[in-house]
Amino acid sequence: MTQMLLSELTTAAVGGPAGNYVEARTEAEIIDAVRSADAAGEKLLIIGGGSNLLISDDGFPGTVVKIASEGFAVNSEDSCGGVSVVVQAGHNWDALVEHSVLHAWSGLEALSGIPGATGATPVQNVGAYGADVSQTIAAVRTWDRERNAVQTFTNSELKFGYRESILKQTTVEGSPRYVVLTVEFQLPLGRMSAPVRYAELARALGVEAGKRAYSNDVRREVLRLRGSKGMVLDAADRDTYSTGSFFTNPIVPADQAAGLPENAPKYPAGSDGLVKLSAAWLIDQAGFGKGFGLEESSVSGGRASLSTKHTLAITNRGSASAEDMLAIAREVRAGVVERFGIELHPEPLLIGVNL
């Protein structure tokens, strides 16, 4: 075990020291590390790519297990059933997406460029550009810490929702009941993408929304669009030192949505007449433009700010603490409540800190 600064493991580059630190490179090592920490009664934090975590400057006073298992195995591949691929939890997500596009496995292309490890993708049902992993995950194999046994969930048992799953619901302060070991995807074979559901992406591809395009074109355009918003990691670009979107898009009853200005983006969200709003739009219209917080006089002293490319990401400009990032988040959240009466909720897991 080695002393590790968690700011070195998170994309926001924020977080104090880990009490204990274990890097687990195989499934057996993951189970071993988790069982040892549990047997010793230590607090446990599971970390993949660290791209959806905001960790206290005081660090984490228990055991931090970094999931570093890599590789995938093809279970079956044929033109009828498509490909069934079982991916180790620590395998880099975008490397899997790139491989899928190169090998004509369809369905992951719109999720190009999302940082982190594959094992975290079912946790918050990772999604972007009209796709999410609930559309392609067949099963997730986990270590159940309560029962001390392996537990496999089928897609429907995972209770996927918008940035939600049973895995997230049973996670407390980054300490999950179920530690993901492998994720199985079921993907159709073919060079064409899944239907392109997101209007901005469809426009960029020159196809009608709902139609298919070549998967490699979808990947290229998604990476270009994401890059223009600072949503692809780039060590040279401070706008990408973030947790991605800091707030989820609020889902509100229709009458609350009706009270918003005519031009506010509104999308149907499920069968109960609920409406999904754009958090980025609400933030911008509440007076927090791109780069808000960069001034030295701001609540964070200019150390943290909204991205200069997107109002939904809170970024570390070089020496931000977790509290600097949260100071921006609090100001934005309060401003949106004041202007629109709508409360924003954080997307990343907050470890040892509160918003």
Ligand X SMILES: Cc1cc2nc3c(=O)[nH]c(=O)nc-3n(C[C@H](O)[C@H](O)[C@H](O)COP(=O)(O)OP(=O)(O)OC[C@H]3O[C@@H](n4cnc5c(N)ncnc54)[C@H](O)[C@@H]3O)c2cc1C
DSSP 260: S
Q: Which is nearer to ligand X, 114 or 275 (CB)?
A: 114
List Cα–Cα distances, 303 to 12, 61, 238, 320, in angstroms: 12, 26, 11, 5
Which residue matches tokens 């400009």?
Answer: 317
Q: Is 79 a catalytic residue?
A: no
* Whether the Cβ atoms of residue 328 and residue 300 lie closer than 8 Å to each other: yes
Q: Which entry of 145, 163, 226, 317 is annotated as an active-site residue?
A: 163
Q: Is 245 a catalytic residue?
A: yes
- Minimal distance, residue 89 CB to ligand X, in Å: 4
How far apart are alpha carbons 97 and 129 in whole angstroms?
A: 14
DSSP codes, 197-236:
--HHHHHHHTS-TT---BHHHHHHHHHHHHHHTT-S--TT
How far apart are alpha carbons 224 and 344 in whole angstroms?
A: 28
What φ, ψ does residue 329 adopt, rounded to 5°?
-60, -45
- Minimal distance, residue 218 CB to ligand X, in Å: 14
Q: Which entry of 7, 51, 100, 245 is annotated as an active-site residue?
A: 245
Q: Which residues contact 155 (CB under 8 A, 6 or more apart)?
A: 134, 137, 138, 139
User: Phi-psi category of 287—alpha, beta or left, where left has phi over 0 and alpha has psi -120 to 50?
Assistant: left
Q: Which is nearer to ligand X, 142 or 340 (CB)?
A: 142
Which tokens is 183 given? 């994720």
Helices (H), the chain: 27-39, 93-102, 166-169, 199-205, 215-228, 254-258, 279-285, 322-340
Q: Which is nearer to ligand X, 74 or 172 (CB)?
A: 172
- Minimal distance, residue 18 CB to ligand X, in Å: 13
Q: Is 219 a catalytic residue?
A: no
How far apart are alpha carbons 243 and 13 in whole angstroms?
A: 10
Give the chain's largest Cα–Cα span: 61
Residues contributing to the site for ligand X (CB under 6 A): 11, 46-53, 67, 89, 114-117, 119-121, 123-124, 126-128, 171, 174, 176, 179-180, 231, 233, 240, 242-244, 349
- Minimal distance, residue 71 CB to ligand X, in Å: 14
Q: Treating both helix axes as pointing N-terminal to C-terminal, what angle do 93-102 and 215-228 enclose, rounded to 10 degrees? A: 150
β-pair partners for 185: 85, 137
Any idea which residues carry the catalytic annotation? 163, 245, 347
